[in-house]
Amino acid sequence: MSRLPVETLAVVVALTDPATPRLGASLARFADEAGPTGEVLLVDASGDPAADGLARRFANVRLIRKPAGRLAPELWRDGLLATGADLVAFSTAQMTPREGWMVALRDKLAGSDAACVGGPIEAGSGLSATDRAVALLRYSGYFPPLPDPDRVEPPGDNALYRRDRLMEVESAWVDGFWEVDVHRALRDRGHSLAMAGSAVVTFEGGVGLASMARQRLIHARRYGAGRSKGIGAMARLARVAACPLVPPLLCGRIAAALKARGMGLAPWLPAVPSLLVLASAWAIGEAAGTCSTSSPLPLGEGPGVRGAASPSARKLGLDRRHSTGLDPHPGPLPKGEGGRTVSAPVHDPLTQLA
């Protein structure tokens, strides 16, 4: 009896900010979870020379340098194009996977026909006030335990994908692996997404307030432009007028997410000032995007990137053979398996929190 071929694995880890003292431990855990037959791609836009030395410590870690300023979705795209693995996981250098993380993701994927399986994200101990604000803003809807895993969208920072399914929707990620767009495209082709409750990664922090505010501005501008495409001037004006509601509404939904998990508010109070800065940055960015006439391209890319996926990849210099060179207002919710409605992704402030 012939054996089925073993699926190859790559873990793409985005590094957007200078290396923290915890990066070595994080890489060690990702390398261990990938195993001797898997590969970890550390895609680095930080410009930090320390990343090279850290990557060299591990036989299955490959460093791919990219221009400074690229965001995590762009680095995930770059990593995906730099590997031919059958299964591709995405995370960031701010995360550390728990033991058994990859086994949990692969077991859930093997037991379903899902195109993608995600996992929870917990806040690490000893986070700064800014890091705790980032954890609340981006990951509170993913804090374990998940009250209802079927209503949670897989997070971009902790997810495993079948490569062949991603190639079906290549046009959705050629400008950057923005998971909201990719997941929508996968569902449009009839594919399902799932969550593995035990596939936990820990957010270790290490992002400065100014850097994160810049990222929130860019993400929000893109979101606002995409959400407002094709609507009239009065509708745009109404949406801009509603943007100041983002911070208080976001704080209310974060509080609800914490309450659903039996978590008190007191430990998080020092994060409130930074949280308000980041929420305000989102509101400003969304207002700017709403006022724009077209969806902005991801940072660092030009109009030549758009078009057919494969030619775009060649223009970007992202062929695998050359990968080492420099280079929240939810609408109708998507349908899960069996027609169940699932919540919109929680990375954007006004989407539903689990």
pLDDT of residue 345: 37
Show the domains of the chain with their CATH numbers.
9-203 (3.90.550.10), 209-291 (no CATH)
pLDDT of residue 294: 54
Structure tokens at 62: 């490959």
Tokens 């915890």 locate to 22
176: left (phi over 0), alpha (psi -120 to 50) or beta: left
Q: Is the dihedral of CA 291, 297, 298, 301 positive or negative?
A: negative
Q: List alpha helices for the chain, DSSP H.
A: 23-34, 50-55, 72-81, 101-110, 129-134, 163-168, 179-188, 209-227, 233-242, 246-260, 272-291, 309-315
> β-strand 87-92 against 121-123: which pairing, if any?
unpaired
pLDDT of residue 189: 96
> β-strand 95-97 against 201-203: which pairing, if any?
antiparallel
Structure tokens at 162: 């079948």
Q: What strand order describes the sheet that includes 201-203?
A: 95-97, 201-203, 121-123
Kindly list the averaged pLDDT for each block of 10 residues, start to end, along the chain of length 354: 71 92 94 97 93 94 94 96 97 97 97 95 94 94 90 94 98 94 96 96 91 88 85 89 90 92 92 94 92 52 28 34 29 35 37 34
Tally Cβ neighbours within 10 Å of residue 124: 18
pLDDT of residue 19: 84
Nearest to 180 by CA among 4, 15, 343: 343
> CA 254, CA 110: separation in Å to the nearest integer?
33
pLDDT of residue 207: 81
206: left (phi over 0), alpha (psi -120 to 50) or beta: left
